[in-house]
C-alpha cells in the first residue's frame, strides 16, 4: 500500500513536470504534491473587500491572502447565482455543459465528471464543508457535511454523509471553520495531499451577524452610490427587476425591524429564523435591536431619508456578518501556518458571485452588469510561486477546476470549458489568453424577476441580449461608462463594434455548444 502511494506521488510530480513545461521546477519545488484549500463565500462582492475597495469594509485576513499571493482584478462568473456558480466551479463547464442552469428547477447530475472526483481518483483526500446548494448529494468527496439549501446562521442544521440531519449550536461561520479545522487535524489521511472546500453561507441574505458583532459600525454612515436613483432609461430589463432596496428590501426580514405585520412571506420568515436563536442569543439580539426598532417606527421615514436609512442598515448588517467571515478565514490560515501547511498549500478565496451594494438602487445579483458578474478572487500561493500583485487577464469561475487539476498533476480534459490559471500564477502572460468571456443567466421567471440573458464581455466592451419574454440588446463601453448607465446599442457609430461583438458572442456560443443562441442578421 505504502509503495503504491509513493509511486503515485512520484507520478503526480512527473505529471506536473510534463504539464508545467520549463517552469515546472517551481510547481514541484517541495517535491510533494500541493494541497488546495478553496474558501468560497456567498454573495461577497469586491466592493466590500478592502484589498479591492477601501471605501467601506476592512478585511485584513482576506487581504493577507492577496498580499501573500495574487489578486485577480478581472475575475468573473459565468452565471451569477449560487447553484449554477457552484456547478461551474466543480465541473469547469459553463451551465450549458453541466446542466445546472438555475436554483429553482435543477438537480445537479452528480454522476458527471467533476474536479473533486478527478482529484480523488488521483489520490487526493477531498472534503467539503458548508453550503452546497446543488440539490443532489455531493460525490467525489472522502468527507462532506453540508447545509440543507441555504442553511441557517444560528444553531444550523447539517446533513452528514450518513444522510442524517444534525443540529449544531452556535454561529454558522465559526462552525464551518471548526469543522474544516477538525477534518484537517483528525479527519484526513495525513500521508496524502488534500483538497478542502470551505463553503460559507455568509454573506447571504438576510445578513445576520454573530451576537458579539451586533454593535459594530453603528457610528458609521455611508453615502448612497451615485446611481442609487437610477431611472433605467434604455434598459427595460433593468427597469423590470424586483431587487430594489427601496421597493423590495423588506424592513422586517432584511433589516430586522420586527413590527405588527408578521404575515408576509418575508416577515413570517424572519420570525422563523429568530425562533432558532437560543435564549442567550435572543437576549443579545433583542437588547441590540429593540431600541433601533423603536426609533425606526417613531420616525416614519420617507423618500430620500428612508433610502438612506435602509441603505445604511443594509451596509452595517453586511459588514457585521463580514467581520466573522474575515476573522474565521484568519483562524483557518493560522491553523495552516501553525501546522506547517502553508508552504505546500494553494489557498483560494472566491465568492459564488458579486453583489449590488446599492448600485442602480439594488441588492442581489443575477445581472451581467459589472457588480454581479465580477467576483472577488485572491490566491495565497505556495512556496515556489513567486508571483505577487495583480493578475489582469480575464478569468472566470470555470477556470478553477482546471487550475486545481493542473496543480495536482492531473491532465485537464480537452473538452473542459475552463482553462488552468497556473501559467498566470507562474507569472506568465500567455499571448493566446482569452480575449472575451461568455455569460448566460437563466432563472426567470423567479424571485427578483431578472430576465434571461446572455452576453459577451471583453476588456473594453459588453454586449448583452435579454430574451424569452423580451428581445432587447445592450452595449456598454466599460472604459467610458464603468457603471453601465448608457446603453449604446442602436447608435450608428457603434454599429461596427456591435457586429464585431455579435460575431464573438456567436463564436463563444458555438465553442461552448450552448443550444440557446441567436442568429446573425
- Residue 317 sits in the site that holds ligand SGN (CB under 6 A): no
Q: Counting contacts by CB under 6 A, is residue 43 touching ligand SGN?
A: yes
Shortest Å, Cβ 448 to ligand SGN: 6
* Beta strand spans in 4-160 (E): 35-41, 69-72, 75-76, 125-130, 143-146, 157-159
364 near ligand SGN (CB under 6 A): yes
- Would you call 154 helix, strand, or coil by DSSP? strand
Q: Which residue is nearest to ligand SGN (CB)?
A: 82
What residue has cell string 441555504?
150
Query: Residues 125, 180, 206, 372: which binds ligand SGN (CB under 6 A)?
Result: 206
Query: What is the chain's percent helix, strand, coil content, to nearest 5?
Result: 35, 15, 50
Rounded least distance, CB 202 to Ca ion, Å: 11
Stretch 73-92 residues interacting with Ca ion (CB under 5 A): 82
Binding range to ligand SGN, per CB under 6 A, among 18-26, 67-75, 199-207, 395-403: 199-207
Q: Which stretch binds Ca ion (CB under 5 A): 37-45, 205-213, 235-243, 417-425?
A: 37-45
* 102 interacts with Ca ion by CB under 5 A: no
Window contacting ligand SGN (CB under 6 A); options: 198-206, 273-281, 312-320, 390-398: 198-206
Buried b (16+ CB within 10 A) or exposed e, 460-483: ebbbbbbbeeeebbbbbeeeeeeb
Among Ca ion, ligand SGN, none, what binds residue 448 when CB lies within 5 to 8 Å by partner kind? Answer: ligand SGN
* Contacting range for ligand SGN; rule: CB under 6 A; set: 16-24, 134-142, 204-212, 372-380: 204-212
Does residue 326 touch Ca ion according to CB under 5 A?
no
Residues between 344 and 383 that touch Ca ion (CB under 5 A): 352
The interface partner of residue 210, options being Ca ion, ligand SGN, none and the CB cut-off 5 to 8 Å by kind, is none
Q: What b/e sequence results for 320-353 when a residue is b if at least 16 CB atoms lie within 10 Å of its CB, and e otherwise? A: bbbbbbbbbbbebbebbeeeebbebbbbbbbbbb
DSSP-derived pairing of the beta strands 395-396 and 75-76: parallel
Among 24, 27, 42, 462, binds Ca ion (CB under 5 A): 42
Sheet holding 472-477, edge to edge: 437-441, 453-457, 461-466, 472-477
C-alpha to C-alpha distances, 53 to 56, 58, 203, 295, 376, nearest whole angstrom: 7, 9, 17, 32, 11
**Where on the chain is the footprint of ligand SGN (CB under 6 A)?**
42-43, 81-82, 103, 150, 204-206, 352, 364, 447-448
Amino acid at each position: 500500500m505504502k509503495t503504491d502511494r509513493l509511486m503515485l506521488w512520484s507520478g503526480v510530480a512527473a505529471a506536473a513536470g510534463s504539464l508545467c513545461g520549463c517552469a515546472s521546477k517551481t510547481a514541484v519545488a517541495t517535491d510533494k504534491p500541493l494541497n488546495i484549500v478553496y474558501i468560497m463565500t456567498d454573495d461577497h462582492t469586491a466592493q466590500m473587500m478592502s484589498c479591492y475597495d477601501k471605501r467601506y469594509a476592512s478585511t485584513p485576513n482576506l487581504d493577507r491572502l492577496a498580499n501573500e499571493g495574487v489578486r485577480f482584478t478581472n475575475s468573473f462568473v459565468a452565471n451569477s447565482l449560487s447553484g449554477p456558480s457552484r456547478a461551474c466551479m466543480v465541473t469547469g463547464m459553463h451551465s450549458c455543459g453541466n446542466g445546472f442552469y438555475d436554483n429553482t428547477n435543477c438537480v445537479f447530475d452528480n454522476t458527471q465528471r467533476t474536479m473533486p472526483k478527478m482529484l480523488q481518483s488521483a489520490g487526493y483526500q477531498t472534503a467539503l464543508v458548508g453550503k452546497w446548494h446543488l440539490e443532489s448529494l455531493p460525490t467525489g468527496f472522502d468527507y462532506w457535511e453540508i447545509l440543507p439549501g441555504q442553511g441557517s446562521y444560528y444553531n444550523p442544521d447539517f446533513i452528514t454523509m450518513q444522510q442524517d440531519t444534525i443540529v449544531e449550536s452556535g454561529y454558522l461561520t465559526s462552525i464551518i471553520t471548526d469543522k474544516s479545522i477538525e477534518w484537517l487535524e483528525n479527519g484526513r489521511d495525513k500521508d496524502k495531499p488534500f483538497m478542502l472546500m470551505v463553503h460559507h453561507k455568509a454573506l447571504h441574505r438576510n445578513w445576520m451577524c454573530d451576537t458579539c458583532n451586533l454593535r459594530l459600525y453603528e457610528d458609521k454612515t455611508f453615502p448612497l452610490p451615485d446611481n442609487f436613483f437610477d431611472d433605467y432609461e434604455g434598459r427595460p430589463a433593468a427597469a423590470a427587476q424586483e431587487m430594489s432596496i427601496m421597493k423590495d428590501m423588506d424592513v422586517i426580514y432584511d433589516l430586522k425591524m420586527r413590527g405588527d405585520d408578521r404575515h408576509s412571506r418575508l416577515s413570517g420568515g424572519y420570525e422563523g429564523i429568530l425562533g432558532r436563536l437560543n435564549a442567550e442569543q435572543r437576549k443579545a439580539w433583542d437588547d441590540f435591536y429593540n431600541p433601533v426598532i423603536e426609533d425606526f417606527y417613531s420616525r416614519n421615514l420617507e423618500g430620500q431619508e428612508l433610502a438612506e436609512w435602509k441603505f445604511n442598515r443594509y451596509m452595517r448588517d453586511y459588514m457585521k456578518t463580514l467581520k466573522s467571515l474575515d476573522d474565521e478565514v484568519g483562524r483557518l490560515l493560522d491553523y495552516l501556518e501553525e501546522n506547517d501547511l502553508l508552504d505546500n498549500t494553494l489557498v483560494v478565496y472566491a465568492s459564488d458571485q458579486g453583489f449590488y451594494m446599492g448600485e442602480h438602487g439594488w441588492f442581489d445579483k443575477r445581472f451581467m452588469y459589472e457588480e454581479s458578474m465580477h467576483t472577488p478572487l485572491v490566491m495565497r500561493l505556495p512556496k515556489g510561486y513567486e508571483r505577487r500583485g495583480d493578475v489582469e487577464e480575464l478569468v472566470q469561475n470555470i477556470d478553477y477546476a482546471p487550475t486545481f487539476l493542473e496543480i495536482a498533476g492531473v491532465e485537464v480534459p480537452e473538452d473542459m470549458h475552463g482553462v488552468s490559471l497556473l501559467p498566470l500564477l507562474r507569472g506568465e502572460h500567455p499571448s493566446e489568453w482569452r480575449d472575451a468571456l461568455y455569460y448566460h443567466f437563466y432563472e426567470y421567471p423567479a424571485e427578483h424577476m431578472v430576465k434571461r440573458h446572455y452576453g459577451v464581455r471583453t476588456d473594453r466592451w459588453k454586449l448583452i441580449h435579454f430574451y424569452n419574454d423580451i428581445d432587447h440588446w445592450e452595449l456598454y463601453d466599460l472604459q467610458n461608462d464603468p457603471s453601465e448607465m448608457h446603453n449604446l446599442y442602436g447608435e450608428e457609430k457603434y454599429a461596427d463594434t456591435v457586429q464585431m461583438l455579435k460575431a464573438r458572442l456567436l463564436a463563444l456560443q458555438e465553442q461552448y455548444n450552448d443550444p440557446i443562441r441567436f442568429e446573425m442578421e
